[in-house]
Chains A and B, each alone.
Chain A
Amino acid sequence: MKKKNYGNLFILFALTVFFAILGGMLYTGNIGRQFTNMLIPIFMYIVLAVSLNLVVGLLGELSLGHAGFMSAGLFTGCLVSIRLYGLVSDPLRFVISMLVGGLVAAVFGLIVGLPTLRLRGDYLAITTLACGEIIKTIITNLKITGGARGLDTGHVYSGAKTLFPYAVVLVYLTVIVMMHIKNSAQGRAIMAIRDNRIAAESIGINVTHYKLAVFVIAAFFAGAAGVLYGHCFANVKAASFDYNVSIEILVIVVLGGMGNIFGSIAAAVILRALPEMLRGFENYRMLIYAIVLIMVMVLSNNKKVQSFRYMVTGKLKKKLRERKAAKQAKKGGEMNG
């Protein structure tokens, strides 16, 4: 337990440093425009990846409908924001719209999860994909969301400097909730379901209850992140949040490591920044992206690479342990003396 908490503190510390530097640079105008414009989408992908990691990593269920929940939250949240514009102060408007977006997404999560979560593996994957596509079709055919023309969010459009604090808070919230679940009794129950459902059931864990809770929580954060995303564009179309977006989020989760919060964050940043960094390569950039994806998967599962990594980390850990032991010995010596 104790060791895990150190890991969590490390993540929170790293995040804080990261946000502080980023925020400092953003508000003093030391960040390029390209990167400024990427900030909010990257934060959204962090939230989406961490929340999907809850489902895929902790619960062990493959969901391909995350973009659908995000989309549902995005459109309701942005509609609320548009209606509230000028009526309440901006911070309140952002908070209310993100809450509403999250709640609506959570309701969708409940509606989708209730019947489908008894399916398993690839069957659940295709059902969640189907639900995402149905949500997309509904939003595209509704009048209130602007239909195929997309929802004009032009007059609630906000720059990165306005949205940054909300994005930071949302990332923190997601990470903390995820950590809390991971390290609580509930989290262990969830992981028990992942590792062996029948065994978990036999010791009295209510599988459906936990599965549903995880699904709903993940959907909530996806929806709230969507609202944030909607505010940094002037026009959003449901058609752009199809299964390909869900797959992109899944790629981030898998690359970052199952159940690994920190990995999800790092992978979201790297994977979203990579195509932008490769801009100079024009036609070849998506090709390079694809090759990097395959290489990372193949190499990270390569025995030699793994053993090399263990060797390096092993040596380092050994050194740390020795240093710690030496320190304690010294401390002990001082006390004794």
Chain B
Amino acid sequence: MKKFLAVVMALAMVFSFAACGGKKGGHADNELYVGAIGAATGDYAVYGLAVKYGAEIAVDEINAAGGVNGMKIVFDFQDSQGDPESAKSAYGKLMDWGMDISIGTVMSGEMASVTAESANDDMFMISPSASNDTCISASSNAFRVCFYDSFQGTAAADYVKATLSGKKVAVFYQSDNDYSIGLYDAFKAQAAVNGTEIVAEQSFTSDEKDFTTQINTLADSKAEVVFLPIYAAEASMFLSQAKNGTDNAVFAEGVYFFGCDGLDGILEVVDNVSTANNVVMLTPFAASSTDADVVSFVEAYKAKTGGTVPNQFAADGYDAVYVIKAALEAMGVSKSSEVSGAKVAEAMTSLSYSGVTGDMTWTADGNTQKLATAVIYNDGVDTEFGK
């Protein structure tokens, strides 16, 4: 009996699922179904939710202004917890739903598998934030808004050479994170080319919260610049511990902490804005910018989330939706059933779009070309650095 019940339940579950298979285009032509996948729960929720909120703001703005060539955007963000397995199912769910076009996934690991799965679907994807070098290579219709890792690592090394020439550099990276390793490898290679001396390298894993030993070793090396190819949350832990309470810091006065777009939003996560003093960040997006588009985006984001300042991920999500709009408008597509991934991909290479993360153009491999500027933080105020 128990077995029988279990069979019935398992079968019912399986086939209720299986039965809800739909074909693409099961909705009106004046609606554009845009899908996205990322972590809304779990360890990576902070990134996924930022993209979600950013994209939702863009969708609301576009719909309020009359949509994309008259098509109203219907947006669906599916939770993946940052797990590729869940992301792949989520992609299937979105396909069943009738997704026309996608802003892909938030994390690189998810993007790789979803891209491979989508290769035969004629589905255009533009990921806001999947930065791993190879994660979009499986499909010719996959693009991204953010920099790719090795580009950014190289750019960081060049920037250090140009603005902090002759200083001793140390690196603190996360050994089990693809973003961190990608940046670190490229940085190291370019530093060797540039003749920049790396005096110490220390790593940590996602399981660690105690960086005391690493911080001490880095400080012992008398480094004047610490390269931090990590995310803001980990960087805030590193900086708080390096400050070591309130009475004295482990690092000497005037040491720079140099990071890339992962550090974005650090002011929002540190316990005290002075913790982020001397942090130099190479980024295409700065929430404090006086650019009119950025100001209105930041205001809208704050209104939506109850005062949170948007980070890089939110800005990328916002831009990704607008890039889709720009591409479809440039092509003159006004029926959602006529959206073709290959054609959008083709149009992308001649598109130039100016968004909150800068002026972008794209190459056929899906990578974006844009400028990054460096800012330095002091007591919660950022000013342009170098140059």
B116 interface contact, C-beta 8 A: yes
List residues of chain B with CB within 8 A of the CB of A316. 1
Residues of B within 8 A of A309 (CB): 1-2
B1: which A residues are within 8 A, CB to CB? 309, 312-313, 316-317
Chain B residue at minimal CB-CB distance from A152: B134
Complex: chain B residue closest to A133, CB-CB: B207
Q: How large is the interface on A (under 10, 10 to 19, 20 to 34, 35 or more residues)?
A: 35 or more
Contact A233 B17, CB 8 Å, known A140-B175, A286-B41, A313-B1: no
In the complex, A154 Cα to B115 Cα: how many Å? 9
The smallest beta-carbon distance between A184 and chain B, in angstroms, is 22
Main secondary structure of the interface of A (DSSP, over half): helix
How many Cβ-Cβ contacts under 8 Å join chain A to chain B?
158
Asked whether A38 lies within 8 Å of B92 as measured between CB atoms, the reply is yes
The answer to whether the Cβ of B296 comes within 8 Å of any Cβ in the partner chain is no
Which residue of chain B is the closest to A45 with respect to CB atoms?
Answer: B85
Task: Tell which of B6-14, B62-70, B187-195, B307-315 binds the partner.
Answer: B6-14
How far apart sit A140 and B180, CA to CA, in the bound complex (Å)? 13
Q: Which residue of B lies closest to A286 (CB)?
A: B41
Question: Mostly helix, strand, loop or mixed at chain B's interface?
Answer: helix
Q: Which of A25, A37, A270, A285 contacts B89 (CB 8 A)?
A: A37
Chain A contacts for B83, CB-based, 8 A: 240
Residue contact B113 to A32, C-beta cutoff 8 Å? no
- The interface residues of chain B lying within 8 Å CB-to-CB of A235 are 84, 108-109, 112-113, 132, 134-135
Q: Mark B81-113, 1 if CB is under 8 A from A, else 0.
A: 101111011111101100000000000110011
Centre residue among A33, A41, A159, A283 by max chain B CB count within 10 A: A33
| Alpha-carbon separation in the docked complex, A91 to B88 (Å) | 24
What's the Cα separation between A232 and B112 when bound, in Å?
11
Excluding A38-B89, A266-B10, A309-B1, 19 further A-B contacts by CB distance (< 8 Å) are A10-B3, A14-B7, A32-B19, A33-B91, A34-B20, A34-B92, A34-B93, A35-B18, A140-B176, A148-B181, A150-B178, A152-B112, A233-B116, A237-B178, A269-B10, A273-B13, A276-B93, A283-B40, A286-B41
A35 x B112 contact (CB < 8 A):
no
**A37 partner residues in chain B, CB cutoff 8 A:** 88-89, 91-92, 117
Q: How far is the CB of A196 from chain B (nearest CB, A)?
A: 27
Q: How far is A130 from B102 in the complex, measured between Cα atoms in Å?
A: 41
Question: Residue B22 at the A interface, CB < 8 A?
Answer: yes
- Interface mask (A140-159 → B, CB under 8 Å = 1, otherwise 0): 11000001111010100101
When the two chains form their complex, are residues A33 and B112 in contact, meaning their CB atoms are under 8 A apart? no
In Å, the complex CA distance between A232 and B88 comes to 9
A234 and B6 contact, Cβ closer than 8 Å, known pairs A37-B92, A149-B182: no
**Total interface residues in chain B, CB < 8 Å:** 57
Is there an interface contact between B2 and A157, defined as CB atoms closer than 8 Å?
Answer: no
Neighbouring A residues of B15 by C-beta, 8 Å: 21
Partner of B178, one of A38, A148, A154: A148
Question: Does B213 lie at the interface of the complex (its beta carbon under 8 Å from any beta carbon of A)?
Answer: no
Query: Among B18, B20, B79, which residue has its beta carbon within 8 angstroms of that of A285?
Result: B79
Q: Are A282 and B40 interface neighbours, CB within 8 A?
A: yes
* A and B contact pairs by CB, cutoff 8 A, 19 listed: A22-B18, A33-B21, A33-B95, A140-B205, A148-B178, A149-B132, A149-B182, A154-B138, A233-B113, A234-B115, A234-B117, A240-B83, A263-B6, A270-B13, A277-B17, A279-B78, A279-B90, A316-B1, A317-B1
Chain A residues closer than 8 Å to B6, beta-carbon distance: 262-263, 266
A31 to B17, CA, bound (A): 8
What CA separation (Å) do A149 and B117 show in the bound complex? 19
Answer yes or no: A30 CB below 8 A from chain B CBs: yes
One digit per residue, 1 when the CB lies within 8 angstroms of any chain B CB and 0 when it does not, for chain A 285-298 equals: 11000000000000
Residue B137 at the chain A interface, CB threshold 8 Å: yes
CB pair A277–B13 under 8 Å, yes or no, is yes
Contact status B89-A147, CB under 8 Å: no
Complex CA gap A309/B22 in Å reads 39
With both beta carbons as reference points, the residue of chain A lying nearest to B17 in the complex is identified as A35
